[in-house]
Structure 1
Amino acid sequence: MNPLLEAEQALLGAVLLDPQQLAHLSWLAPDHFYRPVHQALFAALRKLRTGGHPAGEGGDAVALEWVTDAVEEAGVHVRGLTAAYAHTLIATCPRPAHAPVYARMVLEGAIHRTVTEHAIRLHQAARADALQGEVDNALHYADVLTDVLGDLARRWGCEPRAVAPVGRPAPGPPSPGRAARIAEDERFLLAVLVEQPKAIGEVVDWLRPGDFAVPAHGQLYRCLAVLHHRGEPIDRMTVLWEAQHRGLLADGTLSAEEVGAVCDGIGPGGADWLGEQVIRSSVTRTAAVSARAVRALAEDDSLAPGRLIGHALHALGPLDEVRARWRAATAREAPPVPPPPAEKAAAARVQAALARSSPETATRASARPRPAPKPPATRTSSRHHG
């Protein structure tokens, strides 16, 4: 039998035997159980205890009532639960006092299961975005997975900190339907950068060699970036020479014919637009790789929850890095918005007020002749004496 299933049964049996054990399980939720019938039964037990069930007073008769009431309450939400199965759970429990340990086993299984589910969603979103030329869904589910890992870490009682595993997952190739188009975009971008060397300044701050799906294209881009950094001219000959210095021709990564074909090609479009296509595919590709790595970690039952969460956060690190560069690539400065007429009028009133209160204006105002004051008018007395 599955050890996780036995742990769920032992925990429920312990609570059915000793309702006081629920006082030590406030951190465990019904959805942490794998089987729906176990979820419903644990929720019913918590509801009965919160409602003041007399089982807390002890006694055999009360314990029997506790079991029957729990089965009746759980039966409202799930089908197939009988009193016979409740007594089977009681017989499965080795020691009721060990309920917190059994609950920790249940939580551990829930952590592995939850991380697996969210990793699958991230992978599906990354594949869908790759087909549609988008990145928003993949980035959204990556944020959801990060938040879930943080919440699980707090429930388990550990710090959500990225920890590198022993091995690193190998990046997977793009889907066959998009591989040709991605490679074509990369060739177009490299051709534009060779034809217009100044255009590399538009992409070099946020585009990296690892963003290229074809490794040879990434190495060619590295050669272009090095030539740009050194301020040397860029053409087919200088790129070929740089590739030779880096050993790319000797180890078979590139050939002189491949370098010539890319450098002599025609690249339609601007460097910034083509660069965005390359890094967009890098985002979805990296998201898929991270999702596969997290899922592989979650399916390893030998990993303790703390290590699983730390390794999963580390696997999402490359996606955070490429996401930051994607945002830098797509950021656009908004043109200044002219103030509305009301604000213009208010600014004019402020300037007028300042001009009226300036020292020069006050001096001119004091130098003007003032009219002589008028004598006070005599008032007619309105008082009458009788």
Structure 2
Amino acid sequence: MPQTPEPDEDHDLDLDASAPPQPVFHVEQALLGALLLDPHRLHDVNGIIADSFSTAAHTAVFAAISTLPPPHPAEHAKNAAWLDLVLATARQQARGLTASDLHALVQVCPWPRHTPAYARMVEAEHARRSLAAAAEHLVHTVHDASLPHPVESVLTEADALATVVEDIAARFPPRAGVLPRTPAPPPPAAPDYTQAIEEERLLLATATVYPAGIETVPWLLPGDFVVPLHAGLWQCLTALARRQEPVDPVTVLWEAQQRGLLDDGSDPGEVLRTLAEPAASVEHWGERALQRSLLTTAKHTAQRITAYAGDPANTPFQLVVGARRALADIGAVRTRWQHATTPAPPPRPAPTTRAGPPTTTAAPTAHAARATR
């Protein structure tokens, strides 16, 4: 086989690389070595493609093996003609490959008959990388301030992430009750925290002045607020409205005291000032708060899935279970968002009364009267 390397090319097949490779690197080497030793074992490889490999060199070698016709076993045992062809084909994508790289792959393969097991491991690691990439893309979408319709774009990416999860589930059916062992990261802060505080204050003040507007936002929950005190004040407002009691800054402040919201040292005067500057409508500010909650939930979901995918101890089964549970949080907020933004159907017109048959009651009565004379 030709052995002249290209100058200044990286050798990601080099066994003496300075950075210790991950276990999947050795698995990929074993799989490729098995296929180079016995090309007919490619029929035992299912569920992976060239992009399933973690390095460009491994990708190129597998692409060459899978596209070239396998050699005759007897000829392959006597000469390296097919290996020369594999090298020439693979070097079209990874020019730094050398004949010694292929020989190294052959030498590190412990048992060629374990090819299906190696392929399954490569498939599992590729599933992990695919899941992490989809989660990362969702985070980027949440942070993209240039999007004209951020909620719709984020939900589209969430659906794409869910598709990746279901694809993994189809190849690695989850086992009941097997959860990832990785602790979930803490919920992230709202990206526009200062603006969120101001908008929540406006929402609370507007709801205090116009408590009838509280009924228009049944989809808004305390968990949608970024400030715990604001979430508690919203609960005070909804409780007073539900009990049909007077609503004004003083009654809300008293309700807050009864609920222990001021026990942390919150200034009652500051609470009154928070409730004293209404603007726009309750529904407007409520929708803003819900949108922020949806975006924050999507980011936290993606971060949870990224944490799961980043833990190599989690199996594909665990990744599916954990990712599905994380995505359920987006689904819950999505339902409320659809409720908030879907126009109410027009009122149904009152049914018209059809004209009945002509009455015949009077005529028989008159006839009966004449009969009695």
Would you say same fold, with TM above 0.5?
yes
Instruction: For 1:162 and 1:122, locate their aligned partners in 2 and report how far apart those are by CA, in whole Å.
Output: 25
Q: Residue 239 of structure 1 aligns with which residue?
A: 252
Residue 324 of structure 1: how far off its partner (Å):
1.2
Cα 1:66–1:55 shift into 2, 3 Å:
farther
Q: Residue 296 of structure 1 aligns with which residue?
A: 307
Residue identity matched to 1:77: Q
Matched, 1:271 2:291: no
Cα 1:207–1:161 shift into 2, 3 Å:
farther
Residue identity matched to 1:187: R
Question: Please, which of 250, 253, 259 is the counterpart of residue 271 of structure 2?
Answer: 259
Residue 160 of structure 1: how far off its partner (Å):
10
Residue 90 of structure 1: how far off its partner (Å):
0.3
Question: Please, which of 64, 68, 71 is the counterpart of residue 54 of structure 1?
Answer: 71
Matched, 1:208 2:259: no
Q: Residue 4 of structure 1 aligns with which residue?
A: 24
Cα 1:93–1:166 shift into 2, 3 Å:
closer
- Maintained 8 Å contact 2:180/2:319: no
- Maintained 8 Å contact 1:193/1:200: yes
Residue 286 of structure 1: how far off its partner (Å):
1.2
Q: Residue 366 of structure 2 aligns with which residue?
A: none
Instruction: For 1:97 and 1:85, locate their aligned partners in 2 and report how far apart those are by CA, in whole Å.
Output: 21
In the comparison of the two structures, how many residue pairs are matched?
329
Residue identity matched to 1:21: R
- Maintained 8 Å contact 1:129/1:135: no
Residue 188 of structure 1: how far off its partner (Å):
0.6
Instruction: For 1:226 and 1:163, locate their aligned partners in 2 and report how far apart those are by CA, in whole Å.
Output: 38
Residue 45 of structure 1: how far off its partner (Å):
1.2
Residue identity matched to 2:269: E
Instruction: For 1:235 and 1:81, locate their aligned partners in 2 and report how far apart those are by CA, in whole Å.
Output: 76
- The answer to which of 146-155 and 100-109 deviates more is 100-109
Instruction: For 2:284 and 2:245, locate their aligned partners in 1 and report how far apart those are by CA, in whole Å.
Output: 24
- The answer to which of 9-18 and 314-323 deviates more is 314-323
- Maintained 8 Å contact 2:180/2:318: no
Deviations 1:337-382 (Å, cap 9, x if unpaired)? Answer: xxxxxxxxxxxxxxxxxxxxxx99xxxxxxxxxxxxxxxxxxxxxx
Instruction: For 1:312 and 1:23, locate their aligned partners in 2 and report how far apart those are by CA, in whole Å.
Output: 32
Relative to the length of structure 2, the TM-score reads 0.81
Q: Residue 83 of structure 1 aligns with which residue?
A: 99
Instruction: For 2:248 and 2:173, locate their aligned partners in 1 and report how far apart those are by CA, in whole Å.
Output: 58
Cα 1:268–1:20 shift into 2, 3 Å:
same
CA RMSD of aligned residues (A): 2.5
Instruction: For 2:258 and 2:302, locate their aligned partners in 1 and report how far apart those are by CA, in whole Å.
Output: 37
Residue identity matched to 1:278: A
Give the 5 Å matches for 1:177-216.
178-203=192-217, 205-216=218-229
Question: Please, which of 18, 30, 36 is the counterpart of residue 56 of structure 2?
Answer: 36
Matched, 1:66 2:86: no
Residue 20 of structure 1: how far off its partner (Å):
2.6
- Maintained 8 Å contact 1:130/1:281: no
Higher helix share: 1
Instruction: For 2:46 and 2:321, locate their aligned partners in 1 and report how far apart those are by CA, in whole Å.
Output: 25
Cα 1:117–1:332 shift into 2, 3 Å:
same
Instruction: For 1:291 and 1:88, locate their aligned partners in 2 and report how far apart those are by CA, in whole Å.
Output: 39
Cα 1:329–1:57 shift into 2, 3 Å:
farther
Give the 3-state SS of the residue equivalent to 2:144 in structure 1: helix
Instruction: For 2:173 and 2:162, locate their aligned partners in 1 and report how far apart those are by CA, in whole Å.
Output: 16
Relative to the length of structure 1, the TM-score reads 0.78
Residue 131 of structure 1: how far off its partner (Å):
8.4
Matched, 1:20 2:36: no
Question: Please, which of 114, 133, 158 is the counterpart of residue 98 of structure 1?
Answer: 114
Unaligned runs of 5+ in 2: 1-19, 348-356, 359-373
Deviations 1:179-199 (Å, cap 9, x if unpaired)? Answer: 221111111111011001111
- Maintained 8 Å contact 1:286/1:318: yes
Q: Residue 248 of structure 1 aligns with which residue?
A: 261
Question: Please, which of 164, 183, 191 is the counterpart of residue 148 of structure 1?
Answer: 164
Give the 3-state SS of the residue equivalent to 2:48 in structure 1: coil
Instruction: For 1:129 and 1:307, locate their aligned partners in 2 and report how far apart those are by CA, in whole Å.
Output: 33
Cα 1:221–1:299 shift into 2, 3 Å:
same
Deviations 1:41-75 (Å, cap 9, x if unpaired)? Answer: 11221112xx4x3335675126x233222222222
Residue identity matched to 1:9: Q
Q: Residue 223 of structure 1 aligns with which residue?
A: 236
Identity of aligned residues (%): 36
Residue identity matched to 1:229: R
- Maintained 8 Å contact 1:16/1:90: yes
Q: Residue 340 of structure 1 aligns with which residue?
A: none
